Structure 1
């Protein structure tokens, strides 16, 4: 019988809240990647119109979930599973996670700055944040923010690919329970210890 809540993190694995936030954000990021890829290869197509219509709202949601997830992680910091592996790998994992969280917040913020600088409408969840203005208040800033938004967006997806590769390495090469602690929670570490 567990003596802790299954909702909070535990040294043996991540609790339900951490896992729901992680996998919910993963689904949103897959959707966001699809919208960016479709925009890159089929701009102005009906498929692009469908996906791109969700891009801003999805990005906004991802940013707020990253903030929520970061706060939840800090609140659970002393209870979370220890990072496995050599010191250099643990430091790289910590820096990688900081970069991921930073980009999850920065990339959408740059998208908002681009829209504002270029004088574009910004509507999130059907609520207008600001109306279009011609000419934009600062078109040069908007263009710069747009270029950085795009570059860092693709950088974010590259970091996510690295994150996935390392998770699979932990799960199928090292078999240390790290992968299972985010898929099955605390019970996964006990299973890995018996294998």
Structure 2
């Protein structure tokens, strides 16, 4: 398997970043939904710091993923894919990138504007504040963070649904190209 993307498949770097970011976002979403219910114990603050640290990690990984995509390109569309589907897929991918930037940044902005003491990334590196404490900015960034998460969920469901549609209904290689080599490599219409 190639590290770099080929005309027909995503390379191992793209696949690894895709699935690692997806897994981290899933974990962040679960923790984010549950952490408001935690009692205010030392574990509560540990969970919040872990949530923030993993969010910043996702931001860094998304920067790396976007840089890699610009460097390595993307596979060409599966032959036979209608032009409108290619345009919708491209718009969806770019919207996912925007959301993967906006959600961690809005969380970091919320942390900064709320006036909390600076948090340390995984307890090691003190993260700088993006803005001075400001109640209005804190409320706005918190709303963007929360509603951005729900929008991301909708876009991810559409993205995954489209991949499954291509795999089950169209029987093409759209989904298989992003899976590890050998997964679901069943009778599909192969790309040329």
Tell me the TM-score normalized by structure 2: 0.83
Residue number in structure 1 paired with 2:53: 57
Cα drift, residue 171 of structure 1? 1.4
Q: 1:80-118, CA deviations, whole angstroms, 9 ceiling, x for partnerless residues?
A: 232562111111111111110011011111111111111
Residue number in structure 2 paired with 1:11: 7
Q: 1:100-157, CA deviations, whole angstroms, 9 ceiling, x for partnerless residues?
A: 00110111111111111111123212122248xxxx6312111111111111112112
Mark the CA change 1:106 to 1:83 in structure 2 (over 3 Å): closer, same or farther.
farther
Count of residue pairs brought into register by the alignment: 183
Q: 1:49-103, CA deviations, whole angstroms, 9 ceiling, x for partnerless residues?
A: 37544211111111111111111111122x6232562111111111111110011
Comparing 177-186 with 167-176, which one deviates more in the overlay? 177-186
Structure 1 gaps of 5+ residues are none
Residue number in structure 2 paired with 1:178: 174
Query: Partners in 2 of 1:23 and 1:137 — Cα distance?
Result: 35
Residue number in structure 1 paired with 2:126: 128
Give the 5 Å matches for 1:1-195. 6-39=2-35, 42-44=37-39, 49=44, 51-77=47-73, 80-82=75-77, 85-121=81-117, 122-126=119-123, 127-130=125-128, 137-185=133-181, 192-193=188-189
Contact 2:49 2:120 in 1 (8 A): no
Mark the CA change 1:120 to 1:83 in structure 2 (over 3 Å): closer, same or farther.
farther
Mark the CA change 1:142 to 1:111 in structure 2 (over 3 Å): closer, same or farther.
same
Structure 2 gaps of 5+ residues are none
Mark the CA change 1:137 to 1:52 in structure 2 (over 3 Å): closer, same or farther.
closer
Cα drift, residue 186 of structure 1? 9.5
Query: Partners in 2 of 1:102 and 1:83 — Cα distance?
Result: 24
Mark the CA change 1:51 to 1:137 in structure 2 (over 3 Å): closer, same or farther.
closer
Contact 1:12 1:186 in 2 (8 A): no
Cα drift, residue 174 of structure 1? 1.0
